[in-house]
Amino acid sequence: MLPGMSSPELSRCVDAHEEDLRAISDTVIEIRDGVAHIKTEHRRLLAEHSAALGEHGTKLDELGGKLDAVLTLLARGKDG
* Separation CA 49–CA 53 (nearest Å): 6
What b-and-e string marks burial along 35-45, b requiring 16 or more CB atoms within 10 Å of the CB?
eeeeeeeeeee
- Give pLDDT tens digits along the chain (80 positions): 567 778 888 889 899 999 999 999 999 999 999 999 999 999 999 999 999 999 999 999 999 999 999 999 999 988 76
Query: Domains in the chain: how many in total?
Result: 1
Range of the domain at 21: 1-80
What b-and-e string marks burial along 15-34, b requiring 16 or more CB atoms within 10 Å of the CB?
eeeeeeeeeeeeeeeeeeee
